Structure 1
Amino acid sequence: MARYKSYSQAQSMFIPVRFDEQIIPGTFVHAIDHLVDNELDLSIFDKHYSNDKTGAPAYNPAVLLKVILYAYSLGIISSRRIASCCECHVTFIALAGDTRPHFTTIAKFISSYGQEISVLLTRVIAICSMEGLIGKKMFAIDGCKLSSNASKEWSGTREDFDRKKAKIEKSIQLILKKHQAQDKGGDEGSDMTAKEKKAVKSLKKKADKIQAWLDEGKEKIGVQGKPIQSNITDNESAKMATSHGVIQGYTGIAVADEKKQVIVHAEAYGSSTEHLFLKDMIDGARDTMNLAEGDADALEDTIITADTGFHSSDGLEWIEEERIKAYIPDNQFRKRDPNFATADRHKRPIDKRKTVKKAKYFKASEFVYDPEKKKLICPAGNELYVENSNFKDQKGLKGITYAAKKTDCRVCELRAKCIRGKKVEHRHVTVFTNTMRQMDTPISRMIKRFDTPKGRFWYSRRMGTIEPVFGNIRGTLGLNRFTLRGRDKVDTQWKLFAMVHNIGKLARYAWC
């Protein structure tokens, strides 16, 4: 039988440690150490300190930046855990020079120096460019929805919070009335238990929290000028629908270069409406590359790709004005793509997860046009008359609007499958006479440009450019949720992770 030397990790050892020997050349740790000490100008932090003559010496920003970047690369986001690692983990101790910063100092550095972190990220991008990691042939834009440090339970409009407060107060009264009835009846042991007292205290705390928010009146207003859901805990975050359900969070948007998937610009926004930020992201990437390379327009020959979430009339109009070479599809582009013509046969025959929803009401396509009578026939066999022969929607699409007779709809057996509202008297159907391709608008011109072999080629490269970035940040670096509150602080955290991602590219492809 083979024999092996026994080993145990449950033991301590006193050994002399040279900090510089713990930072091994060619590793990610060495890349961080070299970058911070030799490539980044940290004098931008000096304005935040006024202890040149009096006061205690501050922790060196280089130390704080090193330990934060290294911790983020390991998926350690908590300031307390980072501070703990600086006391007991050899690599952290070596990076910090055994200075052991307190967790409050680390937390303040992350949450308070957003502008400085943005400048440092630009410098890291410039270094990536100098090392030949940015090709500028194609940039891909996309967003990643991440949970915030706030519960969606505390989201709603002012009316929602009024109802919630009334419901909580009603629950408190029910508990109190229950014990008052027991006291009058002379029941023994009618005193409130510790659990019930705790419940009443918790409910009162929630009611007070809602009332405090209602008194301040910080209701959010949407793009259309109407009130939208606010959040009491973090009012700059938003409710977002994701593939894993609805979350309360932020959208981290990034622009990545095709060559090595280096992030050239990153921003976090408290909204899931991505097309609102297309201009900001392209301008941000252009400004960053101009600063990095010193060009007047570093993106003059760069192709921009983005998914359907960034497709909008205003955004495409701005792209045309700026003469940007972009390919941004609408949400119907796969239906026009011949490569997806046989996609239905690859779908599962039985929808076990019940992801496909059956249409509840008759579609416009189920109304048949009679060329002899020049009228539309509904599924019940009744005729619809022409109500508006010059219909035009907001996108510029033209069509003919037909309307059913009120007397027909009133007694129709199929009314429940045809008309949505109870107050609606009869059905209207619009048959469009043109398509977006036939129009001369920014959207139609983008559709024509996208529905070409060249357009589909560049869009096919989008996923392989930007999705690995989010896969690395979420899967490898472990950013599954933002730990800070407020858009500025969340944006700083998102930029720090973008910096870690780019330093990883330098360590792997340039400084290895």
Structure 2
Amino acid sequence: MYVKYNMNQTSLPLELSSCIDSNHIVFSIYDFVDSLDEKHFEIFETQDGRPAYHPRPLIMSLLYAYSKGVFSGRKIEEMMEENLPMQWLVAQQVISYRTINRFRSSENCSRLLENIFIEFTIQLKLEKLISLENVFIDGTKIEADANKYTFVWKKATERFAERLKVSARQYYFEEIQPMVDAGIQYDEELELEESMLQEIAELIEEEVEKLTEDIEENPVKGPDHRKQTRRRLK
């Protein structure tokens, strides 16, 4: 006996957030980036060309991908197509890996993303959502001046922010940035292979067209080696 299912049954679309665990990290990422002042994103505004993607969902997608150990722009684009939490985070937009790589490679984004990653890492650490035992090796213990149901952000930040920032910045440059660079290089190498294959395909198509024209204009009786060559090329 099997559980019944019907792939052709009409159903109403669900709000994506209702399909995601309430403790999922994407909600922390969304709240953090959404709380940032708009002035942080003014440097990306432009009046030229078509309207650009807002930097908020791009930053959100990068933070989430990095938290999952994904650094290739192609794989981040794939997450936008297939990963439910990522789809919710970017409002079901699918942003091409080229746009992702151009965005995070720009000087403005590199500087902003570095600071955002560090601040977000500190927030997760202070809220005890991550331990970072391999990163913060100085034995820092965080105790908020609050009861079990509240958290005093200001006091904890004043006491531990500088020490945590140093550790988080070191972690970003030693661990995260090299993997980002490697991910971008991986995308570029694949793109080179694709362009080379495209060039080869175009050359073969041209040769097939030339053979077809020659066969039609100069027909011969009996076996025609040109037709065999054309079949191999096709």
Q: TM-score, normalised by structure 1?
A: 0.25
Greater Cα radius of gyration, structure 1 or 2: 1
Structure having the larger proportion of residues in helix: 2
Q: TM-score, normalised by structure 2?
A: 0.50
**Which structure is higher in RCO with an 8 Å CA cutoff and minimum separation 6?**
1
Structure having the larger proportion of residues in strand: 1
